[in-house]
Each structure stands twice: as C-alpha cells, then as structure tokens.
C-alpha cells in the first residue's frame, strides 16, 4: 500500500518534467519535414521562370506553389473562378530591396493549362480592355499592377513601391517564360484592317446567342467606323453544331439571311433587326465572322484566315 502510494507520488512529480521534455522536442522540428499549405517542388516548371534579381530587387524566400486543393488560401473567394477556367497550378515569387523586409513586388504565374484559357483570364480580368504594354505584348494595368498572358500562363505583377517600373519587370518575365507546346496562334487569324481598339474573350453566349461560345473578338477602328471580327475557338463537333443551331435560330426567329458557298466554306449574311447586317463564315473546324463597317476586302480576308 505504502509502496503503491510512493509510485503514484513519483509519477505525479515526473509529469511536469515529461511535459517539458516533450515541449522542447516539439520545438526542434526540421522545416523540410513540415508540410504547409503552400509547397515548393523542384519539378514545377513555372517556378523556373523567376529570376534571382529583377529591377534592382532580389527574390526573397522560396517560390510558393498552390494547387486546386489550396488555391483558396491565396485568392479566397476567387479560386473557383480560376479552377473553372482550367487552372492547373499557381507559383508565387516575392522580391524585396532589403532581405527581411516586406516584399516590394509580388509576381503570380498561373498555369492555366492551355493558352486560350490564359488569354480568357487576362481578357476577362481586364473587362475586355487589353492594350499594348510594349510591342508584341498586350495586357492591362492598374496603378500598382500589370497583367498579361504568355502561352498557357497568366502573369500578374503587383508592386508596393511606386518607384518600380512594372514595364521593366514585365519585359524580364516575358523574356524568361517559354510558351510550351500550346502557343496561342489565333491572333494570326485576325486581319490587319485598321487600328486595334480592343481584344476580348467571351466565354458564353456571344451577342446573346447561346450556341456561340468561346469566342475571341477584336474591335477595329476603320475609315468608315468600327468593325468587330470574331473567331469561335472550339472543336469541330461543337462548331458544326453551332452552325446548325444558327440556321435553326434564324428560321425560328424569322430573321432574313442568305447563304453563299465558296469552296468548303459557307458564308451567311444575316439581316439582324438588333445587330444590323453581320456575316458568319463556316469552314471545316472554323467559324469566323464580322459586323459593323464590313466591306468586300474584309470578307475576302476572313475566307483566307486573315492573310492578304
């Protein structure tokens, strides 16, 4: 009885010592073994796009990687938007003028999987108002940020130091980012007919027509007014179905139209009571169209894919 009591008293006395040992062991962790919500992986290709130095700043800390599972932790409330648009992963790099300080610039590189999906994001985020950042690169900017798309990547540069040149940072990033196996060549399909006012991507229901989706539109300023040229960026089956739906819609709505065949292409001239006269040309695996100040030269360019 006495011996049992002594054992219990000894155990009670040892409990604080055991707790202290466990606490001290718990503080001596190896950071490499801890899995936080943002991880760095040596094989994450976008992480290789971050230079050590940029615009007089040095990269601070490791590049952080986010996936579909934890993207909400970085863009809370906006994660589903990116995921629904084809998001694969996000890598984030921070740059500072002095080690240990808060970042002077943060660069986000979203891997959207396909170039058209990256372009869709940048046009949507810009509300359709893309402008030339420098020759060969179109994007948009706010007072302290600049965004653009390069291949399958959507890049956003945020500066917290007004003396930084966002354009210089954008040039550096643009030069270092490779486009991968999915270069976005659809710009070449747009004709050179005048001053480019804006380039937009409309994911659904272009001009209110629910069968025209994934449309890229370019607005031009021409001698006699404005022209909107559009391309439907979809697979062949979807495009064929869209043409069938267009014809059915025109007949059901009693909208006057005419057809003219040229080789494998068919041109529809539509007298729309709301949009006015517009044109749609259907070719194997391709839909292109125009509305506004359309002339015969533009129609010929649309037939040939933008080539004079």
> What is the arithmetic mean of pLDDT over 197-201?
79
Tell me: do 57 and 171 sit in the same domain: yes
Tell me whether residue 248 is in a domain: yes
Specify the pTM. Answer: 0.61
In whole angstroms, how large is the CA radius of gyration of the chain?
A: 28
pLDDT at 285: 79
Long-range contacts of 69-74 (CB under 8 A, 24+ apart): 70/37, 70/38, 73/37, 73/38, 74/38
Residues contacting residue 197 through CB under 8 Å, at least 6 positions apart: 219, 220, 221, 226
Last residue of a domain, one of 139, 154, 176: 176
With a cut of 50, say whether residue 289 has pLDDT above it.
Answer: yes
Instruction: Check whether residue 234 and residue 122 sit in a common domain.
Output: no
Pairing of strands 137-142, 131-134: antiparallel
pLDDT of 178 = 76
- Which CATH number is 270's domain given? 3.40.1000.20
Q: Which of 25-29, 55-59, 188-192 has the weakest average pLDDT? A: 25-29
- The mean of the pLDDT values for the chain is 81
Which residue range is the domain that position 67 belongs to?
A: 45-176
Regarding whether 231 and 256 lie in a shared domain, the answer is yes
Give the residue-averaged pLDDT of 266-291. Answer: 92
Domain co-membership, 213 together with 162: no
Over the stretch 104-126, which tens digit does the pLDDT of each residue have? 999 999 999 888 888 889 988 88
Last residue of a domain, one of 149, 176, 203: 176
The reported pLDDT for the residue numbered 180 is: 59
The total domain count for the chain is 2
Q: Which tokens is 171 given? A: 């040039």
pLDDT digit string, tens, across residues 43-88: 446 778 999 999 999 999 899 999 999 999 999 888 999 998 889 9
CATH number at residue 147: 3.40.1000
Residue 31 lies in a domain: no
30 belongs to a structural domain = no
The Cα 88–Cα 150 span in angstroms is 15
* CA–CA gap between residue 303 and residue 298 (Å, rounded): 9
pLDDT band with cut points at 50, 70 and 90 for residue 306: low
Is 11 inside any structural domain?
A: no
193 and 157 in a single domain? The answer is no
Contact 148, 170 (CB under 8 A): yes
Q: Which of 127, 153, 176 is the last residue of a domain?
A: 176
CB 46 within 8 A of CB 89: yes
CA dist., res. 305 & res. 288, Å (int):
9
């Amino acid at each position: 009885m006495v011996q049992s009591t002594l054992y219990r008293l000894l155990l009670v006395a040892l409990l604080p010592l055991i707790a202290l040992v466990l606490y001290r062991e718990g503080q001596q962790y190896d950071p490499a073994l801890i899995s936080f919500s943002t991880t760095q992986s040596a094989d994450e290709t976008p992480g290789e796009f971050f230079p050590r130095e940029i615009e007089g700043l040095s990269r601070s800390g490791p590049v952080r990687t986010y996936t579909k599972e934890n993207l909400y932790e970085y863009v809370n409330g906006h994660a589903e938007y990116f995921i629904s648009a084809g998001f694969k992963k996000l890598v984030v790099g921070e740059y500072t003028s002095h080690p240990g300080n808060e970042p002077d610039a943060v660069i986000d590189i979203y891997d959207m999987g396909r170039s058209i999906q990256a372009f869709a994001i940048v046009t949507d985020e810009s509300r359709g108002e893309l402008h030339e950042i420098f020759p060969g690169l179109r994007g948009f900017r706010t007072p302290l940020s600049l965004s653009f798309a390069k291949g399958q990547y959507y890049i956003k540069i945020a500066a917290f130091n007004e003396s930084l040149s966002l354009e210089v940072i954008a040039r550096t990033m643009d030069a270092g980012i490779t486009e991968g196996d999915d270069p976005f060549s659809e710009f070449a399909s747009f004709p050179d007919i005048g001053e480019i006012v804006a380039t937009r991507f409309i994911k659904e229901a272009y001009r209110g027509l629910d069968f025209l989706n994934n449309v890229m539109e370019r607005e031009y300023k021409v001698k006699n007014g404005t022209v909107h040229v559009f391309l439907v960026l979809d697979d062949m089956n979807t495009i064929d179905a869209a043409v069938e739906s267009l014809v059915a819609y025109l007949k059901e709505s009693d909208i006057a139209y005419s057809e003219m065949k040229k080789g494998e292409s068919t041109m529809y001239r539509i007298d729309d009571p709301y949009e006015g006269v517009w044109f749609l040309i259907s070719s194997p695996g391709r839909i292109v169209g125009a509305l506004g100040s359309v002339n015969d030269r533009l129609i010929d360019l649309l037939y040939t894919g933008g080539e004079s």
